[in-house]
A and B are shown apart, each in its own frame.
Chain A
Amino acid sequence: KNEVEQSPQNLTAQEGEFITINCSYSVGISALHWLQQHPGGGIVSLFMLSSGKKKHGRLIATINIQEKHSSLHITASHPRDSAVYICAVALGAGSYQLTFGKGTKLSVIP
C-alpha cells in the first residue's frame, strides 16, 4: 500500500519568509500532484510533475524519484498564501487513482 507523508503538519511563517513543505511516498509513482485548499474549502491544482522541477510565479515544486521525495517551496511568502497544501501521488501507468497526504496547514502572518 502506498503511503504519502507530509511534513510539517502545521507551519506558521512571517510574511516574506521562504517556505518549504515536504512530501515523501513509499512506492514507485508515475506522477506527483501539489494542490492548494483555500480556507473556504476550494481545491486547486498547483503542479503535476514526474521529474525535475517546475516553477509558477513564487511557487517551485521539485521531485527526486530515486529518493521518493518532493518539496514545494514558496518564495517571499504572503498572507494570501495561507492555505492547506496537499501532496498526492499517482501510482504506475494504468492507475487512475491518486493517494493523498493529509496536508500541511500554512499560516503566513503579516
Chain B
Amino acid sequence: NAGVTQTPKFRILKIGQSMTLQCAQDMNHNYMYWYRQDPGMGLKLIYYSVGAGITDKGEVPNGYNVSRSTTEYFPLRLELAAPSQTSVYFCASSYSKGYDLDEQFFGPGTRLTVL
C-alpha cells in the first residue's frame, strides 16, 4: 500500500492564482481530512469528509474548497491565493465506525508559498 499520497511536494504561487492540492489514499478509508500547519502553531482542520459525496467545514475553511467524488481522492482547491495561505498542508485519512475516530494516517505534506 502506498498509504496517503500528496502532490505536489512544493509549490510557489503568486497572489490571486489558483491551484489544487491532490490527495489520494489506497486503504479504503471512509474519513479524509485536510489540515494546515503554520510555524509554531498546532495543526488546524480545513475540511473533512466522512465518505464519497459528503464534505464539511473544519476550523479554518475560508479560501478553500473540497470535493470527494470517490473514496480514494480528496482534492483541496485554493481560489485566489493569498499570502495568509502560505503553510504546510497535510492530508490524512482514517477508518472509523460510527462515532469513534480511529488513528489517522498522514500524507507527506505540501509546502505552499504565496508571494
Give residues in A with beta carbon < 8 Å to B. Answer: 4, 30-31, 33, 41-45, 48, 86, 88, 90, 93-103
Contacts and interface: CB of A to CB of B under 8 A. Distances in A.
Given A88-B43, A96-B56, A97-B59, 6 more contacts: A42-B108, A43-B92, A86-B42, A88-B42, A97-B58, A98-B104
Contacts of B108: 41-42
A33 B104 contact: yes
Interface string B75-115: 00000000000001010100010011111111011010000
B74 interface: no
B62 to A, nearest CB: 16
B27 interface: no
Chain A interface mostly: strand
A50 to B, nearest CB: 9
Contacts of A41: 88, 108-109, 111
10 contacts: A42-B109, A43-B90, A86-B42, A95-B101, A96-B48, A98-B45, A98-B101, A99-B42, A102-B41, A102-B42
Contacts of A98: 43, 45, 101, 104
A49 to B, nearest CB: 10
Given A31-B100, A42-B108, A45-B104, A96 B40 contact: no
Contacts, number: 59
B53 to A, nearest CB: 16
B44 to A, nearest CB: 8
A100 B43 contact: yes
A45 to B, nearest CB: 4
B102 A48 contact: yes
Contact of A48 (B50, B99, B103): B103
Nearest to B35: A100
Looking at B40, B96, B102, B104, which has the most chain A CB atoms within 10 Å of its CB?
B104
Nearest to A92: B99
Interface string B35-61: 000001111110010100000101100
Nearest to A101: B42
Contact of A93 (B50, B56, B99): B99
